[in-house]
Amino acid sequence: MMRDELPSEKQREMLCDMIHSAFVELRLLGRDGEAQQAADLADAFHNIPKEMYGWGSFTWDAFRGMLAHYQRKWRVEGRPTGPDYVWMLDQVRADGRKQGGQA
């Protein structure tokens, strides 16, 4: 698998904000007994803290695909919705493009 250029310091800060949002959602899902949804959210995020620093094969598209899969599965009518992680990631990538990066 091809690797993308690693996120900039600013992008890593923004990714940490996303991870924080995911932890808050995980806490709420656990409180509400939504174990499968919590597991799926954890699955979408579990590699990014290490990959954004060079471990494994960081790619923006792979991470976006994991987030999109989670949202397609769980962001359905009649269910409470959490943050729009795909939109948030697109903002992180856009910030890298503004800074002259290859995101």
pLDDT for residue 103 is more than 60: no
State pLDDT tens for residues 4-30.
899 999 999 999 999 999 999 999 999
Percent of the chain with pLDDT over 90: 78
Domain presence at residue 14: yes
Domain presence at residue 48: yes
**What CA–CA distances, in Å, run from 29 to 23, 24, 72, 73, 90?**
10, 9, 17, 15, 24
Domain presence at residue 86: yes
Model pLDDT, residue 68? 97
- Rounded to an integer, the average pLDDT of 69-92 is 89
Model pLDDT, residue 87? 96
pTM of structure: 0.87
- Rounded to an integer, the average pLDDT of 32-56 is 95
Domain presence at residue 1: no
Domain presence at residue 70: yes
Q: Which domain holds residue 27?
A: 9-98
Domain presence at residue 4: no
Domain presence at residue 69: yes
Q: How many domains does the chain have?
A: 1
Q: d(Cα 101, Cα 94) in Å, to the nearest integer?
A: 9
Query: What's the angle, vertex CA 2, arms to CA 75 and CA 23, rounded to 5?
Result: 35
